[in-house]
């Protein structure tokens, strides 16, 4: 349960930070890269804790984190 | 390091014509004066010399491929103002790029405390603006240069950020020579469509795994969904353009 709350906190912080800096897209790009990196690390931590950390899962979180940040940065 | 990552990401995206459609120097000046009037400041009068200085600064940024108040060779904004024959007592500069219309440019300046200070500074009584299309680091963009000044032969001071040019080659924009297609809007629609498609796929995956009670090695669909919902929200709220 704590894992889910941490993820929700990360998501909320990211969205608020973007709202506060949306006048400068350089900040938004950096925030997005940071968010994707933190999500990737969160995934590793969460699955390691559950004892289900495998190479496939590492790659899955990595691909989705890169894809997510590319979808935002690609807009500018 | 972070800048390198951004550059790498930028080169991966498709190149679309990136000129703004609805930015004009006249409108920028009108909106700037509206802001000053709303804040009990005198409106600024247009100075042809400051217009010339702003155009020279924009041309220099395109010619020397930089996006900054001070050029890579160290030329500051005040040089352009002086070169235009404007003897300033006070001077200031605001920059913007990649915006779609004049209102967004002025709104972004007003949202930034340092730029707002220039817009509302009581020491300025004249303004010059240039809106120029060109390419910086291979990316087509519309630059907006706003120069503020107070002319005098007395003591000089510089406020905010500012810069010069030898040959102006960039084009001053006019309302009819611009594309009506915004690269930002187009990219945003494509990204939003892709994110929504991903969310639908994750939702279906989640549903079928739950319905068929499948056991497999994979990440958490709900976590991925949360991640992409955040990406979707940000894709909706982000605005085009950057100020300096």
Mean per-residue pLDDT, B34-58: 94
Q: Which residue has the higher pLDDT, B196 or B213?
A: B196
Mean per-residue pLDDT, B105-111: 88
Distance in angstroms (rounded) separating the CA atoms of residues A74 and A17: 19
Q: Is B137 left (phi over 0), alpha (psi -120 to 50) or beta?
A: left
Q: What is the mean pLDDT of chain A?
A: 92
Q: Which of A19, A73, A76 sits opposite B237 (nearest CB)?
A: A19
Nearest alpha-carbon partner for B70 in B83, B57, B59: B57
- Tell me the shortest Cα–Cα distance from B26 to chain A, in angstroms: 22
Residue window 82-111, chain B: list those with CB within 8 Å of chain A. Answer: 98, 107-108, 111
What is the DSSP annotation of B82-148?
HHTT--EEEEEEEEEES-SBHHHHHHHHHHSHHHHHHHH-TT--EEEEEEEEEEETTEEEEEEEEEE
pLDDT at B187 over 90: no
Q: What is the pLDDT of residue B240?
A: 72
Q: Please indicate whether, in this complex, the C-beta atoms of B240 and A7 are within 8 angstroms of each other.
A: no
Helical segments of chain B, H only: 2-12, 25-38, 48-63, 77-83, 102-111, 113-120, 183-211, 221-237
3-state secondary structure at position B159:
strand
Q: Please indicate whether, in this complex, the C-beta atoms of B239 and A22 are within 8 angstroms of each other.
A: yes
Residue window 160-219, chain B: list those with CB within 8 Å of chain A. Answer: 184, 187-188, 190-191, 194-195, 198, 217-219
B28 confidence band (pLDDT: 50, 70, 90): very high
Q: What is the pLDDT of residue B166?
A: 29
pLDDT in tens, B78-88: 999 999 999 99
Q: What is the pLDDT of residue B7?
A: 47
Report the range of poorest mean pLDDT among B12-16, B142-146, B214-218: B12-16
Mean per-residue pLDDT, B137-149: 88
Q: What is the pLDDT of residue B19?
A: 58
Most confident range (mean pLDDT) of A12-21, B2-11, B135-144 is A12-21
Mean per-residue pLDDT, B179-207: 84
Q: What is the mean pLDDT of chain B?
A: 80
**If you compute the radius of gyration of chain B from its CA atoms, what whole number of angstroms results?**
22
Q: Which residue has the higher pLDDT, B20 or B185?
A: B185
pLDDT at B11 over 90: no
- Tell me the shortest Cα–Cα distance from A39 to chain B, in angstroms: 7
pLDDT in tens, A8-17: 999 999 999 9
ipTM score here?
Answer: 0.95
B153 confidence band (pLDDT: 50, 70, 90): low
Q: How many CB pairs under 8 A join A and B?
A: 114
Q: Which of A14, A57, A67 sits opposite B219 (nearest CB)?
A: A57
């Amino acid at each position: 349960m704590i894992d889910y709350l941490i993820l929700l906190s990360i998501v909320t912080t990211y969205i608020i930070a973007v709202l506060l800096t949306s006048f400068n897209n350089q900040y938004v790009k950096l925030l997005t890269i940071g968010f994707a990196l933190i999500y990737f690390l969160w995934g590793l931590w969460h699955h390691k804790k559950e004892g289900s950390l495998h190479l496939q899962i590492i790659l899955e979180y990595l691909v989705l984190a890169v894809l997510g940040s590319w979808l935002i940065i690609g807009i500018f | 390091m972070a800048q390198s990552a951004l550059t790498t990401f930028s080169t991966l995206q498709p190149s679309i014509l990136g000129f703004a459609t609805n930015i004009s120097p006249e409108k920028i000046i009108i909106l700037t004066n509206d802001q000053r009037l709303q804040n009990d400041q005198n409106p600024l009068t247009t100075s042809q010399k400051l217009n010339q200085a702003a155009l020279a600064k924009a041309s220099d940024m395109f010619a020397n491929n930089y996006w900054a108040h001070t050029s890579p060779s160290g030329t500051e904004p005040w040089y352009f103002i002086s070169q235009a024959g404007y003897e300033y007592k006070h001077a200031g500069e605001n920059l913007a790029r990649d915006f779609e219309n004049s209102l967004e440019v002025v709104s972004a300046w007003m949202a930034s405390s340092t730029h707002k200070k220039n817009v509302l500074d009581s020491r300025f009584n004249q303004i010059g603006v240039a809106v120029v299309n060109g390419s910086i680091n291979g990316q087509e963009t519309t630059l907006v240069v706003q120069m503020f000044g107070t002319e005098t032969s007395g003591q000089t001071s510089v406020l905010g950020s500012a810069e010069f040019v030898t040959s102006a080659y960039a084009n001053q924009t006019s309302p009819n020579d611009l594309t009506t297609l915004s690269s930002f809007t187009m990219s945003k629609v494509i990204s939003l469509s892709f994110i929504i498609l991903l969310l639908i796929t994750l939702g279906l995956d989640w549903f079928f795994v739950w319905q068929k009670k499948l056991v497999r090695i994979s990440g958490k669909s709900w976590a991925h969904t949360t991640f992409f919902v955040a990406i979707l929200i940000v894709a909706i709220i982000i605005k085009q353009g950057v100020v300096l």
